């Protein structure tokens, strides 16, 4: 019965733009050095060279951009009850700083598949950098700075 509900839930996602099936999840074996970990802890970031191959990166780009486009006309950022996001009083201004969409996995099956199939590798790297056992994805976020957008406050 659980499998039947899972299949129904996946088929109920509102993917509009067809995207190719995920064929290239992140499976690269990355070995962090103690220097990588120390640099991360000192600077707050770490660049993982070649985490995504050019073909994987292109697939991520295609999937994420199509998911953002599927929600392009919706002013709300969270996929809830088709209501606008009233968290910003100056929504018109802030809506033109970034194109931002959160929890794309809830409305786009390809994003969900991408995160589930690639999350183990990315989560392992993040946990290693943090020195903890595991990392849970809280939410996905597409944040795109468009040309001629309003200035960013930071």
Is residue 63 domain-resident? yes
Is residue 10 domain-resident? yes
Is residue 153 domain-resident? no
What pLDDT was estimated at residue 127? Answer: 92
Number of domains in the chain: 1
Q: Give the torsion sign (CA, 133, 63, 142, 87).
A: negative
Q: Residue 124: give the domain boundaries.
A: 2-144
Ranges of the chain whose pLDDT falls below 70: 1-28, 73-91
Please enumerate in sequence order all residues whose Cβ is within 8 A of that of 27, keeping only pairs 6 or more positions apart, or say none: 121
Q: Give the torsion sign (CA, 13, 17, 18, 19).
A: negative
Closest CA to 56 of 4, 106, 114: 114
Closest CA to 68 of 8, 122, 19, 119: 19
Is residue 152 domain-resident? no
What pLDDT was estimated at residue 131? Answer: 95
Is residue 79 domain-resident? yes
What pLDDT was estimated at residue 1? Answer: 46
Is residue 151 domain-resident? no
Element (H, E) at 11: helix 2-11
Is residue 17 domain-resident? yes
Mapping DSSP onto H, E and C, the string for 94-141 reads: HCCCCEEEECHHHCCHHHHHHHHHHHHHHHHHHHHHHCCCCCCCCCCE
């Amino acid at each position: 019965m659980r499998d039947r509900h899972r299949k129904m839930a996946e088929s109920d996602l509102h993917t509009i733009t067809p995207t190719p099936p995920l064929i290239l999840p992140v499976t690269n074996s990355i070995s962090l050095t103690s220097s990588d970990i120390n640099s991360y802890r000192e600077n707050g970031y770490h660049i993982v060279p070649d985490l995504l191959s050019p073909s994987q990166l292109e697939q991520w780009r295609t999937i994420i951009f199509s998911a953002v486009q599927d929600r392009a006309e919706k002013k709300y950022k969270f996929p809830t009850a088709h209501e606008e996001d009233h968290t910003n009083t100056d929504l018109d201004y802030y809506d033109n700083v970034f194109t931002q969409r959160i929890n794309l996995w809830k409305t786009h099956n390809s994003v969900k598949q991408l995160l589930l199939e690639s999350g183990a590798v990315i989560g392992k790297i993040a946990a290693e950098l943090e020195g903890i056992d595991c990392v849970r994805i809280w939410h996905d976020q597409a944040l795109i700075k468009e040309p001629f957008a309003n200035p960013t406050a930071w």
